[in-house]
Amino acid sequence: MRSPGADRQLGAGFMMTEGIIDGPDDIRAIAHCTDPNRMNRDNVLLIQLEPGYDRQRLDRARRTLYTSSSCGICGKTSLENVFLHCPPRTSLPHISMHVLHSLEDRVRMKQTGFGRTGGLHAAAQCAPDGQILSVYEDVGRHNAVDKLVGAALMSPTERRTDTWLWISGRASFEVVQKAHLGGFACVVAVGAPTSLAVDLSKAANLGLVGFCRDGRANIYSGIVAPEK
């Protein structure tokens, strides 16, 4: 289930955050289905991979997705699967409490869908100084993250390795995985993190902040920067 809009970004981001592709060079074309005989073709996205793409990798990704959705793998295996696609970062990010406390209000100003409905999650790309670079909304928080990652993937000028992912829900293992594979340095969640999300963030040298709302925040991974 998704909120319509930014479908191409959603598809590209999902391919990236699930470890199916390494970057935009793996995608040859991406577009909506145009077959007039296909039911709900507006909800079908066709992604053509480059001829040199390793098809066995796609098969492995399908098996991993099926297994993880069935809760059939342990925490250690989950971490190993992530690092097969993307190694840990070289260092932890520095996190300013002042910046953390400013993010919720800054993102909320750009949540136009939430303002109308009160029922959409948001994912935002934030600079370490608190500037909001991009915001995407969706009924599913994972979809919002994928749209954000896909947008950056399709626009090289938006791709940075020092930005933070702000998410308007809890920080699940899947959200932290998507953040790491999507190239973010830190995850900031309004809600709680799961224990496996904390394990992954520490193993990946990824910053992780939970309960970031109402003027407070818990830092589970990262270096607290001294305030100026």
Task: Give yes or no for a contact between 17 and 2, defined as CB atoms under 8 angstroms apart.
Answer: no
Q: Is there a contact between 145 and 135 (Cβ–Cβ < 8 Å)?
A: no
CA atoms of 69 and 153, how far apart (whole Å): 25
Going by C-alpha positions, the residue among 143, 142, 124 that lies closest to residue 134 is 124
Which residues carry out catalysis?
Answer: 71
User: What b/e readout covers 16-39, taking b as 16+ CB neighbours within 10 angstroms?
Assistant: bbbbbbeebebbeebeeeeeeeee
The DSSP secondary-structure symbol of 168 reads: S
CB 100 within 8 A of CB 124: no
Which residues partner with 138 through β-bridges?
121
d(Cα 9, Cα 144) in Å, to the nearest integer? Answer: 10
Question: Are the C-beta atoms of residues 169 and 141 closer than 8 Å to each other?
Answer: yes
Tokens standing for 185? 């340095």
